[in-house]
Amino acid sequence: MVCRKQGWGVAEMAVHSSAIEQVASHDRSRAMDAFKLGDRVFYWITRISAILVLVLLGGIIISLIVGSWPAIMEFGSSFLTTQRWAPSAEPPVLGALSPLYGTILTSIIAMTIAIPVGIGIAVFLTELCPLWARAPIGMAIELLAGIPSIIYGMWGFFILGPFLADTVQPFFIGLFDGVPILGAIFGGPPSYLSLFNASLILAIMVLPFITAISRDVFATVPPVLKEAAYGVGCTTWEVVRHVVLPYTRVGVIGGAMLALGRALGETMAVTFIIGNSFRISPSIFAPGTTISAAIASEFAESDGLHQSSLMLLGLLLFVLTFFVLAAARLMLLRLEKKAGK
């Protein structure tokens, strides 16, 4: 506070030269010293805060490794290939195969739904939508991104799950009944809690991310390019397909990978409706689990090797998302550089 007050005084001194003449010269040098000190303190506060970001990442990695060390020692690489998850067996048998499978499968299904729809919405917003409706629709999509994930989970649990189990799932099960492979994938009894339900909720959750980034990169396409294409008689679809998408390919892929990173680590939306079953089933209508769902539902009541294994799951998830997110950021960075030039 003192420093701030002094700052005002000195700042005015610097502006009104008459003020300088009035103060004695040693006051001036004192003021200069205060400037220097304040400058240095502020510089170091900001610098240390910035370095704290790196420390955070380091802390996350170290605490995960430390926490999962007993499990790494105990299970080694067999952790990745064991499907059984029996924390109360003697000795406990714990394997990551099932949550890994669930995490990757739900993310893939979610992205298969969300990428085309998300890009479709972005195309609609940038090319087709009347101007007056752009802002409200864009805002609605962005608000969708703001809704906390537990709300999605709860909504999926109470509303979407029963709806899917009563209508959509029986339809697919009937449609592919008896067909080899597809019959197994879309087989089994319909269920309120399933990988498929979780995937759909995930798709809805990541949709806004894909739309927002696609819309932003679509806006970077020089109007001249689009106008030229329209000028030679292209239809809207042809402009999008042959001008907008090729020009923004890197950005769109980057956005999709960012969304993938989100989907991989999404916790609350998935935990309620995936069923938390550690058995790998060929059917996507069967219950399963993901890494984050396993941690969320078991960690608070775990101890010893069980807890350590959950930490190890967390470490795996972190490594997985780190690479996906890093790749996404590198792509988007490349695009920014291109736009900057």
Partner 1 sequence: MNPIYASRRRKDIIVRALCFVAAAFGVSWLGLILFTLFYNGLAGMSWQLFTQNTPPPGASEGGLLNAIVGSLIMTVIGVGVGAPIGMFAGTYLAEYGKHDRLSPVIRFINDILLSAPSIIIGLFIYGAVVVPMGGFSALAGSLALAVIVIPVVVRTTEDMLNLVPNSLREAASALGLPRSLVIRRIAYRAARTGLITGVLLATARVAGETAPLLFTALSNQFFSLDLANPVANLPVTINNFVQSPYVYWKQLAWSAALLITLAVLALNIGARLIGSERTAK
Within residues 15-74, the interface with partner 1 by CB under 8 A covers: 15, 35-36, 38-39, 41-43, 45-54, 56-57, 59-60, 63-64, 66-67
Whole-angstrom distance, CA of residue 106 vs CA of residue 161: 15
Interacting residues of 205 by C-beta distance below 8 A, sequence separation 6+: 110, 149, 152, 262, 263, 266, 269
User: 237 to 256, contacts with partner 1 by CB under 8 A?
Assistant: 237-238, 240
Contact 186, 173 (CB under 8 A): yes
The yes or no reply on residue 304 touching partner 1 (CB under 8 A) is: no
Q: Which of residues 172-231 bind partner 1 (CB under 8 A)?
A: 204, 207-208, 211
Question: Which residue, 119 or 195, is less far from partner 1 as judged by CB?
Answer: 119
Residue 165 found at the interface with partner 1 (CB under 8 A)? no
CB of 280 to partner 1, least distance (A): 22
Count residues contacting partner 1 (CB under 8 A)?
Answer: 93
In angstroms, the CA 221 to CA 242 distance is 12
- Minimal CA–CA distance to 338: which of 257, 212, 251? 251
Q: Which of 251, 265, 275, 287 binds partner 1 (CB under 8 A)?
A: 265
User: Given the complex with partner 1, which of 192 and 283 has the nearer CB atom?
Assistant: 192
Residue 238 in tokens: 């042809």
Nearer to partner 1, 283 or 315 (CB): 315
- Closest separation in Å from C-beta 54 to partner 1: 6
CA angle 201, 202, 207 (to 5 degrees): 105
Q: Establish if 274 lies at the interface with partner 1 (CB under 8 A).
A: no
Binds partner 1 by CB under 8 A, chosen from 266, 284, 288, 331: 266
Considering only residues 87, 104, 124, 185, which one is a binding residue for partner 1 as defined by CB under 8 A?
124
In the bound complex, what is the minimum distance in angstroms from residue 103's beta carbon to partner 1? 10
d(CA 95, CA 84): 6
Could you tell me which of 274, 278, 101 has the C-alpha nearest to residue 191? 274
Task: Give the residue, chosen from 151, 182, 219, 339, that forms a contact with partner 1 under the rule CB under 8 A.
Answer: 151
Token pair listed for 294: 């396993």
Rounded distance between C-alpha atoms, residue 106 and residue 304, angstroms? 29
Rounded Cα gap, residues 109 and 113, in angstroms: 6
Instruction: Point out which span in 172-180, 181-189, 244-252, 295-303 binds partner 1 (CB under 8 A).
Output: 295-303
Site for partner 1 in 91-110 (CB under 8 A): none
Measured CA to CA, the distance from residue 229 to residue 222 in angstroms comes to: 12
Binding span for partner 1 by CB under 8 A among 84-92, 156-164, 167-175, 184-192: 156-164
**Residues near 170 by beta carbon (within 8 Å), at least 6 away in sequence:** 190
Q: Which of 295, 306, 309, 331 binds partner 1 (CB under 8 A)?
A: 295
* Alpha-carbon span 108 to 264, nearest angstrom: 9
Minimum gap (Å) between residue 56 Cβ and partner 1: 6
CA–CA gap between residue 219 and residue 138 (Å, rounded): 13
Q: How far is the CB of 184 from partner 1 (least distance, A)?
A: 29
CB of 95 to partner 1, least distance (A): 19
